[in-house]
Amino acid sequence: MKPPPFEYFAPTTLDDALDYMADYGDEAKPLAGGQSLIPTMNFRLAQPEVLVDLNGLAELAYIRPAAGGGVSIGAMTRQRSVERSPLVAEQAPLIHETMPYIAHPQIRNRGTFGGNLAHTDPASELPAVATALNARFRAQSRSGQRWLTADEFFVDLFTTALEPEELLVEIVIPPLPAQTGYAFREISRRHGDYALVGVAATVTLDNNGRCEAARLVYLSVGDKPVEAVQATAALIGQKLTAEAIDDAAEIAAAQDIDPPGDIHASVTYRRHLAKVLAKQVLAKATARAKQE
């Protein structure tokens, strides 16, 4: 379990890092916290010829209020810093609530917010949560920058819309609309494991207490975050009673997702968990929306 030989660069400015990315393109991989990349290299599943280490880029490690509200998080911010940030807790409470589900504290100390999203593991919590929150992603290369929505950013299994010479540099989480509640839950085998199924929800109520908008985004049921659009469509305009939520959960599990089966969870078990979790998060998000 040793990686094959590779070249290693440790730039200290973003510009230098982007130069390396431009020069080596396809052959290079950026190294963030290394919690996913290094094991893949040791298993020889990834064999990049060049590593561009981003750990010297202090300019990419920050959490600050975003221009139009919400919060901006630099790609190299450690997961543990996000978890402990009062600003994140206030502006993006769903992210705050989800962070402890990611691995263990030791891993969150090294692993970065941007690295987790760029890795796009379908079993990762953050891509699903970022989707539910309409996060926006800033990609940068030597020739410029562009903004992507979550739908645009997450393309496929371990695949983002980033070009080989681009880096993810910043993620912006917009504020939740008024009268909006949120919740996250997952089932994993052991503490700290990747989820068998997980789901993030947001629910917005109108002034009559009916559902104005809702998002229900799953992890571990497909190649990327999977949004249960039919389930949430069924909720719009409804009073969110236990029955309404049960029905939506049923639709989500039966129609919106097409989960895989593996040694840890069969298709049937995953669907079952998807239903159980949907009920829980929709109920909790609704309760929170009512308190708003």
Partner 1 sequence: MSTRYFGQRIKRNEDVRMLTGQALHVDDVNFTDMLHVAFYRSRDAHGYIKDIDVSAAQEREGVVAVYTAEDLGDYWQPGPLLVPPPPTIEGLIFHQRTQVPLAKDKVRFVGEPIVMVVAESRYIAEDAVGDIWVEVEALPAVIDIEQALNEDMPTIHDDLDSNMAAHVVQKKGNYEAAVQQADLVIKRKLKYDRGTAAAMENRGIVAQWDAKSQKLTVWDTTQAPIVIRNGLAAMLGLSEHQVRVIAPFIGGGFGPKIMMFYQEEVLLPWASMKLNRPLKWIEDRQENFFATTQERGQVHEAELALTNDGRILGLKHNFIHDGGAYIPYGLTIPLNSQANALGPYATPNYYSEFKVAFTNKPIVTPYRGAGRQHGVFVIERLLDLAAKQLDLSPIEIRRRNFIQPEAFPYNHEIIFQDFAPLVFDSGNYEPALDMAIEMIGYEQFIKEEQPRLRAEGKKVGIGVAAYVEGTGIGPYEGARITVEASGKVSVASGIGTQGQGHFTSFAQIVADQLGVDVRNVYLVTGDTDQFHWGAGTFASRGAVVAGNAIHSAAVEVRKKILKLASEKLEAAEEDLELADGQVRVKGVPETAIKLGSLAVMANPLRGAVRPGTEPGLEATSYFGPESGTTASGVHALIVEVDPETMKVEVKKYVVVHDCGKVINPLILDGQIHGGVAQGLGNAFYEQLHFDENGQLLNASFMDYLLPTALDVPRMEIGHVETLSPLNPLGIKGAGEAGAIPAAPVFVQAVENALGDDAPEILEIPLSPNRLFELVFGE
Ligand X SMILES: Cc1cc2nc3c(=O)[nH]c(=O)nc-3n(C[C@H](O)[C@H](O)[C@H](O)COP(=O)(O)OP(=O)(O)OC[C@H]3O[C@@H](n4cnc5c(N)ncnc54)[C@H](O)[C@@H]3O)c2cc1C
Q: Where do contacts with ligand X occur on this chain (CB under 6 A)?
A: 29-37, 54, 75, 102-103, 107, 111-112, 114-116, 118-119, 121, 124-126, 162, 167-168, 194
Q: How far is the CB of 46 from partner 1 (least distance, A)?
A: 14
CA distance 119 to 107: 15
CB of 114 to ligand X, least distance (A): 4
Report the alpha-carbon distance of residue 161 to residue 127 in Å, rounded. Answer: 13
* Angstrom distances, CA of residue 169 to CA of 73, 125, 203: 9, 19, 29
CA distance 87 to 2: 40
The angle, 0 to 180 degrees and rounded to 10, between the axes of the packed helices 267-291 and 242-251 is 140
**What are the helix (H) ranges across 101-252?**
105-110, 113-119, 125-132, 150-153, 229-235, 242-251
- Site stretch for partner 1 (CB under 8 A), options 152-160, 213-221, 230-238, 259-267: 259-267
For 183, counting Cβ atoms within 10 Å of its Cβ (0-12 exposed, 13-18 middle, 19+ buried), the class is buried
| Minimum CB–partner distance for residue 272 and partner 1 (Å) | 7
Q: Quick one: 93 or 100, whose CB is closer to partner 1?
A: 100
Determine if 68 is a binding residue for partner 1 (CB under 8 A).
no
Question: What is the rounded distance in angstroms from the CA atom of residue 96 to the CA atom of residue 90?
Answer: 8
- Pair 74, 169: CB distance under 8 Å: yes
The smaller minimum CB distance to ligand X, of residues 171 and 205, is found at: 171
Helices and strands of the chain, counted as H and E runs: 12, 14
Of residues 123 and 244, the one with the C-beta less far from partner 1:
123
Looking at beta carbons only, is 4 or 209 nearer to partner 1? 4
Q: Does 239 bind partner 1 (CB under 8 A)?
A: no
Residues 41-60 touching partner 1, rule: CB under 8 A, are 43-44
Least Cβ distance, residue 119 to ligand X (angstroms): 4
Which partner in ligand X, partner 1, none is near 162 (CB below 5 to 8 A by kind)? ligand X
Hey, what are 65's tokens?
């209020």
Picked from partner 1, ligand X, none, the partner binding residue 273 (CB below 5 to 8 A depending on kind) is: partner 1
Which one of ligand X, partner 1, none interacts with residue 125, CB within 5 to 8 A by kind?
ligand X
Candidates 62-70, 146-154, 186-194, 205-213; binding stretch for partner 1 (CB under 8 A): 186-194
Q: Does 263 bind partner 1 (CB under 8 A)?
A: yes
Consecutive H or E run containing 41: helix 37-42
Asked if 158 is part of the footprint of partner 1 (rule: CB under 8 A), the reply reads no
Considering only 64, 266, 290, 292, the residue that binds partner 1 (CB under 8 A) is: 266
The partner residues of 78 in beta bridges, in order of sequence, read: 112
Q: Are 184 and 198 in contact, with CB atoms under 8 Å apart?
A: yes
| # binding residues, partner 1 (CB under 8 A) | 24
* Interface ranges with partner 1 (CB under 8 A): 1-5, 43-44, 187, 189-194, 196, 263-266, 268-269, 272-273, 276
